Amino acid sequence: MNSESNFIPVESLDTEKSYQHLVSFNFEGKEQAVSFIETTQVTDGVDCDVYSFAEDESKDLGIIKIGPGKKTPLQRVLQGEKTIEGYVSGKGKLTITRADGKQENFMADGSSLNATVNIGELMQWEADPNSDLVAFEICYPPYEDGRFENII
């Protein structure tokens, strides 16, 4: 799977990074049109831009922006057919705790990264102390409240 997109970082006037909204996203080797829905603050230093896929209502897209040294809440997947986590830019790691208790760490540092998180498994993104981290999350079916449980 290819996680390249036309996601373009832009420097804002206050020197913090801001991002233009996507119009398409390359997933599974195919450029797919997306429409911006909203930005939600997940926690301090973590925001998520939510998108719908224009030609595919079976999934949605979240672009997760994590500030240096920040991390997403530790979340357990409770519902859904498939949850895919992937890397866009920056440095950090994704930790997944599988149903059997085995922990997997995926380094997010410039190489392609796509990982499926199954129901009952835990996941958490963490940005490097000196770098922003941008990740993506694709939910089949589209995200609804109750899909994830925040553990921490």
Q: pTM of the predicted model, to two decimals?
A: 0.86
Q: Tell me the DSSP string of 10-27.
A: EE-TTSSEEEPPPSEEEE
The count of domains in the chain is: 1
pLDDT tens-digit readout, 71-95: 999 999 999 999 999 999 999 999 9
Domain CATH number, residue 105 = 2.60.120.10
What is the per-residue pLDDT for 14? 38
Per-10-residue mean pLDDT for the chain, 152 residues long?
A: 40 46 92 96 96 96 98 97 96 97 93 92 98 97 94 81
Q: Residue 105: inside a domain, yes or no?
A: yes
Q: Residue 20: inside a domain, yes or no?
A: no
Host domain of residue 144: 37-150
Tokens of residue 79, six digits: 């519902």
